[in-house]
Amino acid sequence: MSAVNVVSQEIREALSEHVESSKISDEKRQEILRAIENVNRPGFHLKLSAVPQLMKPVTWFPPMWAFTCGVVSTGESVVEHWSILLRGLILAGPLMCAMSQTMNDYFDREVDAINEPQRPIPAGLISKSASWIVTFSLILFGFIIAWSIHPYVMYISFVGVLMSHAYSGPPLRAKQNGWFGNLIVGFAYEGVAWLTGSFAITQGVPSGDTIAMAVIFSLGAHGIMTLNDFKSVVGDTIKGVKSIPVQLGERNAAILACVVMNAAQLSAIGILVYNAEYVFTAFALLLLIAQLPMQKILIQQPHEKAIWYNSFGTLLYVLAMMVCAFGIRP
């Protein structure tokens, strides 16, 4: 029996054990079993219309927003540097972030077969070998755009590629443990993007306040990633992925996520107060207060409300990022 069939059989047996406890319907179970067969099927197949889905545009916003925050925090004119801003946004979202998603889909294809069988690789729309063509194409174009901004930006982009592989692929595969994996994603999506935006405009070492804000909101993003893992609890449990919801349980994971995000925002507000930016402090504080009733609902119904909170509650968190970026402008 081939290794692929052995893996598939192990997943089938584990899935059967979880059908009742996870309330998986027979129809869903059959869809998952078909996906399990697709993920390691040999050959090359690339349906071009499925490439955008593989690149997952919905995930591009956080690094693009963080890059913009980095630009804004410099105090330089966005209008005068519109070309750098445009290229930076393309680099942060449609290229580097999309690259991380396609790479993650390759390494996560067996977990996705359970959690998201409609994804391109489990659905049989893109073979695993074809997914690498997409990934390397994005890396190549990303390096070209990064170099056009500044050679150092290309070096930073290379670090981003390494971070993506460290998160998804062997030997580290940091996502196997939510504590470490979420930290890498937080810094890649928020911190690296923020500091790159700052450097791209000034082409110098970012200010201390900019570095502090980038680190603070990167750590806070650990909470956002924890909430993102709620949708994958069944597959993570079966495949032994130790996400925060799997390790702590959904309610405790929701509490932790809220504490982490709130602590980050309070730290950022502290910097604004230290700089006597009281108007921006007030706005940031109001955004934090507005999140509290939503967090109460999340903690009461973590499984049902995690996606809802990630859509609306975290919107206030990212707005606070921009408020703080304006607040530390020289």
Could you give the count of Cα atoms lying within 13 Å of 199 in the half-sphere of its Cβ? Answer: 19
pLDDT of residue 17: 55
- Domain contains 51: no
- Is 321 inside any structural domain? yes
Look at residue 20 in the predicted model and tell me its pLDDT.
47
> The tokens 């981003």 sit on which residue?
160
Asked, for residue 158, whether it belongs to a domain, the answer is yes
Report CA-CA distances (Å) from 162 to 100, 170, 286: 10, 11, 38
Q: Is 90 exceeded by the pLDDT of residue 33?
A: no
Domain for residue 52, yes or no? no
**Three-class DSSP category at 177:** strand
Give me the number of domains the chain comprises: 1
Whether the per-residue pLDDT at 7 is higher than 60: the answer is: no
Q: Are 306 and 298 in contact (CB under 8 A)?
A: yes
CA neighbor of 258 nearest in space, from 219, 231, 224, 213: 224
Q: Which domain holds residue 79?
A: 3-42+61-327
Q: Is residue 47 part of a domain?
A: no
Distance CA 132, CA 115 (A): 21
Structure confidence at residue 28 as a pLDDT band (50, 70, 90): confident
pLDDT tens, 48-83?
999 999 999 989 999 999 999 999 999 999 889 999
Q: Measured between alpha carbons, how far is 286 from 294 in angstroms, rounded to an integer? A: 14
pLDDT tens figures, 236-272: 887 788 999 999 999 999 999 999 999 999 999 999 9
49 in a domain, yes or no? no
Residues 260 and 219: beta-carbon distance below 8 Å: yes
**Which stretch of 40-44, 56-60, 94-98, 289-293 has the lowest confidence by average pLDDT?**
40-44
For the chain, give the number of residues: 330
What CATH number is given to the structural domain containing 27? 1.10.600
Cβ atoms of residues 100 and 188 within 8 Å: yes
